[in-house]
Structure 1
Amino acid sequence: MAEIQMTADAIAATTILNRLAEELDKRRKVVRRRLDYYGGKHPLCYASPEFRDYFAGRFAGFADNWCAPVVAVPAERMNVLGIRLDEGSRKADKDLSRAWKTADAERGSSEAFVTTLAASRSYCLVWADSDDENVPRVTWERPDQAIVAYDSDTGKRSAALKLWADDTKEYATLYQAKTVWKFQRSKSSTSGRSVAGLIVPAEGLVNASAWGGWKPRQGSDDVWPLPNPMGVVPMVELRNQTLLDDDPISDIDGVIAMQDAINLIWAYLMNALDYASLPQRIVLGADIPKVPILNADGQVAGYRPVELDKLNAERILWVPGEHARIAQWSPADLASYSNVIERGVEHIAAQTRTPPHYLIGKLTNIAAEALTAAESGLVSKTGERIVYVDPSIREIYALMALVQSDENKAKACRAGTVVWGDIQFRALAQKVDALVKMRQIGFPFEWIAEQYGLEPHEVARVLKMREKEAEDDPMAQMLNGTMQRPEAEPAEPDVETAEV
């Protein structure tokens, strides 16, 4: 493999790589903390140093995870069914729907929505499949391993970076509109500070003589950098809500503090279960027990009192004094702890618009209308989250169309309509009753099928089945005036007339 010379374009690429890696490093700690809380990895917060010193080991790894349902409940209602390119037609594009399924984007997008709501952002990379250049390959990237840069004037994507590492090497791929730069370097050959999990040399990434530790990563065709036939940066950012700035908000940022408080109360509760849930006997009026101190010859040289910590561990309390007697404390009221935990969970439900029955888990016999009203906040919240990610989904479809070499379809995707599954869960009888009434007042059957929640290809399939039933139903044909009367059989000739 021929040695590659450092050019001005290569230096500019490593400069961009360095800048994006710096920004990614700033985000990494916050992103991982949010994802850890979603996954149930909560560091237990203590109310006092004494409690921490004594109980840290006992409750290590404990977590009562309420961050997961806060994110999972709206994310599980965000299902992409396709994209409509023609405003006059309600049908989703078949080629893109097929490509979406082929790329396993149904599962990948579901995971990306969870990551977006929990960590505030995620990323999607679209490229051509290695076996077929016309088949899109869609991968979904973590926000602690990928980042997108934007032009400050136009707001369009100007570059994207993906960083990752294995046991021996570190890798970086920089995507630009016209080129793709791939770098790698050995972990053992680098030293200095950490950037996004990668060790950056003290002199930085831009080093005309030594490449800053990085070396070009080439494929079997020895092409470096790779051309980008798509003509645009092929990575898209899915962002949660922002406050008109460049810092999207996580859905669990406001939950983490209450989550820590609930975990602490659980620790207190389990401590009370261990120490104070049963009556505690005490000895009054007796001297504290002492143990002998032996000298080098084994003779008793004195006495020392038993350590109070050991007495506590053995559930014994000694109170010195005359007239020793035995008494007891009443058991602790554990309901006070559970009541506080329930209040905390209710606060989480109210603050995050998560229906209480998703969190508390109590089964109650309530009417369907009351259940719908209880979920109205969640439905509104889910619709709002869809608004945030909808432009990114359109852009992902546009990139898939570019992989298929269809620029006109890519332009149509950017102005298309993403088809989402029904975000409101209702009882089947309630849903069907509403659709029947809408049908009776004149809504077309195709629209009714869409509102029922069928995917676009299933709607077309149902319409064909409906037409087939109509063709086989003579009553429907009579009502539509399409029934064909049977042809009259020709009359037999008159024998006498024939003989004449």
Structure 2
Amino acid sequence: MATEEQARRLVDVLATELTSRSGTVLRHDRYYRGQHPLKFASDEFRKYCADRYKGFSDNWVQPVADSPVERLTVTGIQASGEMKADAELWGVWQRNGLDADSQLGFLGAGNAGRSFVLVWGDPSDESTPCVTFEDASSSIVQYEPGSRRRRRAAMKMWQDGFSEYATLYLADEVWKFERPLSSGEKKSPQMAEADAVMDSWTPRETDNEPNPQRNPMGVVPMVELPNRPLLASEPVSDVSGVIAMQDAINLLWAMLFTGADYASLAQRIVTGAEIPKIPVLDANGQKVGEKPIDLKKFVTDRILWLENPDAKVDSWPAAQLTAYTEVIEVCVGHIAAQTRTPQHYLIGRMANLSGDALIAAETGLVKRVEEKTLWFGQALREVFQLICLARGEDDKAKALAGGTVLWRDPQSRNLAQLTDSLLKLKQIGFPFEWLALRFGLTPTEVTTLMDMRAREAELDPVSVIMGGAGQPSEEPAPPGPDPADGGVP
């Protein structure tokens, strides 16, 4: 049990850490949305062109982040020693809308380096706890010293109106705090310190709930989904390594557009001639002087008079803009190689490639997805354990400790090749239920399919005897020659 002062101090520390992380999280989010400032440009170029290209971006961060998420689909959870996926837990998953929200959580983890899942009981429906994916800018988990899995505390923080709220989750209790938002005015250090004292965290008033309240689950109910975790440092975002090359691509496009504006067409130049002038007349029509003619008129009228016989017309050739596009293509190729994103996802050009060639081209992406299923699956297994604890099913929670999170096959397969391989596996004895899962059906769909096959068998028992429900009968092979008859059948 923590005292109020201990809980307040922990919230202060976690809030400071969360604030320090939020800058990077928001930066990655802006780049994913295509909000890129113009970088790597000279001061002169930025001075004259930054506003011109403000809001433009050739956004490659988004497909890099999206490509693995579109292949990350949870299909169920299977406890250790069980032959089938758990239908009840899958029902909780679906009733919380996690088929869609999990995609948001996986994308958030890829962009920010981590995301979180919070599980808490619902008093109005004890069989369906509330499960929500949380963003890295609003949630944080503290681990036991020396451990990357044993959670010590967790916190969710958010703003609403003129107040900031925080909920601190411990293994045995939950604290709720609030504080007024800072006005942002610049004050002296003494007055700023005085404001900090007055605006510190205070227990939040809640209706019909004690504060703190008991945590009936007995564990910290928030789990972190780390993206590409490392042994000695923070998880790595999928887009952090793309940002520098993204800035270079945007600058190259800005230079290309500028070159297209000024030098994409051949430029004519006149030498050996003075600027044409027109006479200035007084009220009586007498010439009193001269003034240079407006050169814009020549551009508009496409007419030029040259009276000086020594005048010459020359031209500058049009700029070759392909030099920029070739470098941009190289930059995109580097992004594809560094992030293991298939080139045809980014370049958009495909030749007549065979199915095997396409599978080989996507091998890096498939391996990248499999790595994510490993780390995300470990975290989601703990999420399903928390669901069981929130439902009061302690024994099932223990069984899930060695369970398996089921995922859809991340590899794109040709339907004809897939069915052919499954038929061959059937011939060597693989069970139909396993083959249906390999075909891509979810465990729920497989259960429905098996029920349908059972009903077909009841309606047509003869086909079962001859070759299986819904399957063509297998005729026995004709007898071979009998050696006793001299080899004659």
> TM-score, structure 2 length as denominator?
0.84
Where do residues 241-390 of structure 1 align in structure 2 (5 Å cutoff)? 241-286=228-273, 323-390=310-377
Query: Aligned residue for 1:224?
Result: 211
Where do residues 128-147 of structure 1 align in structure 2 (5 Å cutoff)? 128-147=121-140
Q: Give the drift of 1:246.
A: 3.7
Whether contact under 8 Å (2:332, 2:346) holds in the other structure is yes
Take 1:478 and 1:387, find their aligned partners in 2: how far apart are those partners? 43
Where do residues 77-96 of structure 1 align in structure 2 (5 Å cutoff)? 77-87=71-81, 89-96=82-89
Whether contact under 8 Å (1:44, 1:62) holds in the other structure is no
1:439 and 2:432 are equivalent in the alignment: no
Over 3 Å counting, the alpha-carbon distance change for 1:442 and 1:477 in structure 2 is closer
Take 1:369 and 1:189, find their aligned partners in 2: how far apart are those partners? 61
Find 2:18's aligned residue among 24, 27, 50: 24
Take 1:54 and 1:248, find their aligned partners in 2: how far apart are those partners? 39
Take 2:203 and 2:97, find their aligned partners in 1: how far apart are those partners? 31
Q: Give the drift of 1:16.
A: 0.5
Whether contact under 8 Å (1:349, 1:359) holds in the other structure is yes
Take 1:255 and 1:414, find their aligned partners in 2: how far apart are those partners? 36
Q: Give the drift of 1:62.
A: 0.9
Q: Secondary structure at the match of 1:326?
A: strand
Q: Give the drift of 1:480.
A: 6.9
Over 3 Å counting, the alpha-carbon distance change for 1:66 and 1:475 in structure 2 is same
Take 2:292 and 2:382, find their aligned partners in 1: how far apart are those partners? 75
Q: Give the drift of 1:204.
A: 9.1
Whether contact under 8 Å (2:40, 2:247) holds in the other structure is no
Query: Aligned residue for 2:47?
Result: 53
Whether contact under 8 Å (1:189, 1:213) holds in the other structure is no
Over 3 Å counting, the alpha-carbon distance change for 1:69 and 1:353 in structure 2 is same
Whether contact under 8 Å (2:266, 2:315) holds in the other structure is yes
Query: Aligned residue for 2:100?
Result: 107
1:404 and 2:383 are equivalent in the alignment: no
Over 3 Å counting, the alpha-carbon distance change for 1:414 and 1:327 in structure 2 is same
Over 3 Å counting, the alpha-carbon distance change for 1:364 and 1:222 in structure 2 is same
Query: Aligned residue for 1:470?
Result: 457
Take 2:186 and 2:216, find their aligned partners in 1: how far apart are those partners? 37
Q: Give the drift of 1:280.
A: 1.6
Query: Aligned residue for 1:126?
Result: 119
The one-letter amino acid of 1:129's match is D
Take 1:221 and 1:289, find their aligned partners in 2: how far apart are those partners? 90
User: Where in structure 2 are there 5+ consecutive unaligned residues?
Assistant: 278-289, 294-307, 470-489
Q: Give the drift of 1:203.
A: 6.2
1:420 and 2:413 are equivalent in the alignment: no
Instruction: Tell me the alpha carbon deviations over residues 218-274 of structure 1, each in whole angstroms, 9 at most, x when there is no partner.
Output: 221152112211111111110011231240111122211111111111111111221
1:98 and 2:85 are equivalent in the alignment: no
Query: Aligned residue for 1:14?
Result: 8
Over 3 Å counting, the alpha-carbon distance change for 1:44 and 1:103 in structure 2 is same
State the identity as a percent: 47
Query: Aligned residue for 1:181?
Result: 175
Q: Give the drift of 1:189.
A: 7.5
Instruction: Tell me the alpha carbon deviations over residues 406-463 of structure 1, each in whole angstroms, 9 at most, x when there is no partner.
Output: 1111122222100111111112112111111111222111110010111111111111
Over 3 Å counting, the alpha-carbon distance change for 1:370 and 1:11 in structure 2 is same
Whether contact under 8 Å (2:61, 2:246) holds in the other structure is yes
Over 3 Å counting, the alpha-carbon distance change for 1:49 and 1:288 in structure 2 is farther
Over 3 Å counting, the alpha-carbon distance change for 1:99 and 1:305 in structure 2 is farther
Over 3 Å counting, the alpha-carbon distance change for 1:141 and 1:477 in structure 2 is closer
Take 2:457 and 2:161, find their aligned partners in 1: how far apart are those partners? 65
Take 2:272 and 2:376, find their aligned partners in 1: how far apart are those partners? 71
Take 2:345 and 2:468, find their aligned partners in 1: how far apart are those partners? 53
Take 2:378 and 2:242, find their aligned partners in 1: how far apart are those partners? 27
Query: Aligned residue for 2:164?
Result: 170
Whether contact under 8 Å (1:190, 1:213) holds in the other structure is no
Q: Give the drift of 1:114.
A: 0.8
Q: Give the drift of 1:90.
A: 3.1
Take 1:386 and 1:409, find their aligned partners in 2: how far apart are those partners? 22
Over 3 Å counting, the alpha-carbon distance change for 1:131 and 1:68 in structure 2 is same
Query: Aligned residue for 1:452?
Result: 439
1:202 and 2:196 are equivalent in the alignment: no
Instruction: Tell me the alpha carbon deviations over residues 372-425 of structure 1, each in whole angstroms, 9 at most, x when there is no partner.
Output: 111111111110111121111001111111111111111222221001111111
Q: Secondary structure at the match of 1:213?
A: coil
Take 1:153 and 1:255, find their aligned partners in 2: how far apart are those partners? 31
Deviates further, 42-51 or 130-139: 130-139
User: How many equivalent residue pairs?
Assistant: 445
Whether contact under 8 Å (2:38, 2:46) holds in the other structure is no
Q: Give the drift of 1:130.
A: 5.0
RMSD value, Cα: 3.1
Take 1:382 and 1:285, find their aligned partners in 2: how far apart are those partners? 68
Whether contact under 8 Å (1:103, 1:138) holds in the other structure is yes
Q: Give the drift of 1:192.
A: 7.9
The one-letter amino acid of 1:444's match is P
Whether contact under 8 Å (1:136, 1:404) holds in the other structure is yes
Q: Secondary structure at the match of 1:332?
A: coil
Q: Secondary structure at the match of 1:165?
A: strand
Q: Give the drift of 1:102.
A: 0.4
Instruction: Tell me the alpha carbon deviations over residues 336-365 of structure 1, each in whole angstroms, 9 at most, x when there is no partner.
Output: 211111111111111111111111111332
Over 3 Å counting, the alpha-carbon distance change for 1:285 and 1:51 in structure 2 is farther
Over 3 Å counting, the alpha-carbon distance change for 1:49 and 1:438 in structure 2 is same
Take 1:353 and 1:341, find their aligned partners in 2: how far apart are those partners? 18
